[in-house]
Amino acid sequence: MAMCCASKEHACATVTSYRLLPELIMDVIDACSSAYINKYERIDGQAVSRTLRACSLTSHAFLPHSQSHIFRTVELKNQTLLEQFLSCLQSSSERCCDDFGVGKYVQKLVVWDSYISTPLHTTIHQLGPKLPQLSAITLCSGSRLISDEAFLSGFNVISQTVTHPARYLHPLKRLKIEGPPGKMFRHTVDWFAVIFRNGTSLEELSASFHCLECMEEIITFNRLLRQCGSTLRRLSLSMDVLDEVACSLDTSPLKNLERFSLNGCALTQQHLIRRTQDLNAIISNPTCSMMRSITSMEIDCSMVGLAFLPWAEGFKGIPLSPSERHKYTIETVNALSILDMVLDDPAFDKVEDIFILLRPGGACRKPRGLRLHDLFPRMKAKVDARARAGDTRASNGFVVRVWDEGDRAWFILQ
């Protein structure tokens, strides 16, 4: 009996503990972060999040790298989430015995201003010291329009609060302003212009979801461009700019600008005609700095009218009759032909890339009467000319992608 007990004790004493190499752990977690693909051929964020949370609870060795994925992008959609995230930063800082906690993993911050009552400058002042690796901020607006007193109320006291946000936003590399709506856009841009007046590292600026609709907005946006003149490399704006102010946008201070993209969206043929008018307004001033700086254009044509009556007519969801469908299809093809003619204008000869995304309607995979391969003959001729001249790019500067509803994937038209 004593012999048996001694053997057991010897066996317990000689048990070997094996640990996975840190590099292998990181490879496993990295693979989990991109292993789940949904039916739209995109990464399933919810499935990835569940898997990463499970990994973080597996072992202490899995925790840091799992958290670096979980907290890489933080999206604050309401006041409750903001308060919970602040509490998480505080508790993780105490647990890790450092100043940052999980905040040291945050690289991108997405803030929905319509549903947060804490003013912007206060939010940045609270989060800034805890996010040393923050390099991108996206400001979004929800469906509820807001007034001056809530999230953006700090714009009225810029001079008293500007020193604190400036300290934390100086390393910022990417800024995307998807909101707020109306006059608040101008105040938002002006706020960042003041923040960056003592220097900035901003390399990418996007405001592709907002129409620059008045001279005051143009003046304010020009002020922001001047503050970022030596660092900004990529600029993205909406092509929905009012005719009378389009030529006033001044991109000349951007000495290191590598890519200037104009983005537009067309849900119906009326929207497509409007985008064509926008482009006409731009090429009517070929000598303005904005026109000379454009390197790329992207137009997303979600032609839902090929399957249903236009939304603007108030008949959403009612199928078209065969005759109405044929008429609408012909009108759509004509609108795309006009777009092809405008894009062929010599003013766009120096534009490096033109992307057109066609979604021919959710209810029909191949709409009758819409011969996709016959579209854009002028642009295809220009592509062929560029290829003969030695352009080695696969797209030759022009790509039309069509959404295949059956396979849920894009295919290139050319």
Tens-place pLDDT, residues 220-238: 899 999 999 899 999 998 8
| Predicted confidence band of residue 88 (pLDDT cuts 50, 70, 90) | very high
At residue 38, the pLDDT reads 59
Taking 80 as the threshold, does the pLDDT of residue 363 lie above it?
A: no
Q: Which CATH architecture has domain 46-144+156-257?
A: Alpha-Beta Horseshoe (3.80)
- What are the sequence ranges of the domains in the chain? 46-144+156-257, 269-414
pLDDT(141) > 80: no
For the residues 186-212, what does the mean pLDDT come to? 85
In terms of phi and psi (left: phi > 0; alpha: psi -120 to 50; beta: otherwise), the region of 4 is alpha
* Residue 37, pLDDT score: 63
Judged by average pLDDT, the poorest of 126-140, 262-276, 316-330 is 316-330
Say what the pTM is. 0.78
Q: What mean pLDDT comes out for the span 138-153? A: 56
Instruction: Give yes or no for a contact between 269 and 335, defined as CB atoms under 8 angstroms apart.
Output: yes
Cβ atoms of residues 335 and 343 within 8 Å: no
Q: Which structure tokens are listed for 392?
A: 């080695």
Q: Is the pLDDT of residue 11 over 60?
A: no
In this predicted structure, what is the pLDDT of residue 78?
86
194 versus 321: which is more confidently predicted?
194
Residue 87 in this model has a pLDDT that exceeds 90 = yes
pLDDT at 86 over 60: yes
Confidence of residue 161 (pLDDT cuts 50, 70, 90): very low
What is the reported pLDDT for 235?
94
Q: Does 258 or 247 have the greater pLDDT score?
A: 258
Of the pLDDT bands very low, low, confident and very high (cuts 50, 70, 90), residue 307 is very low
Q: Supply the mean pLDDT for the chain.
A: 76
What is the distance between the alpha carbons of residues 232 and 229, in angstroms, rounded to a whole number? 6
Give the mean model confidence (pLDDT) for residues 403-412: 62
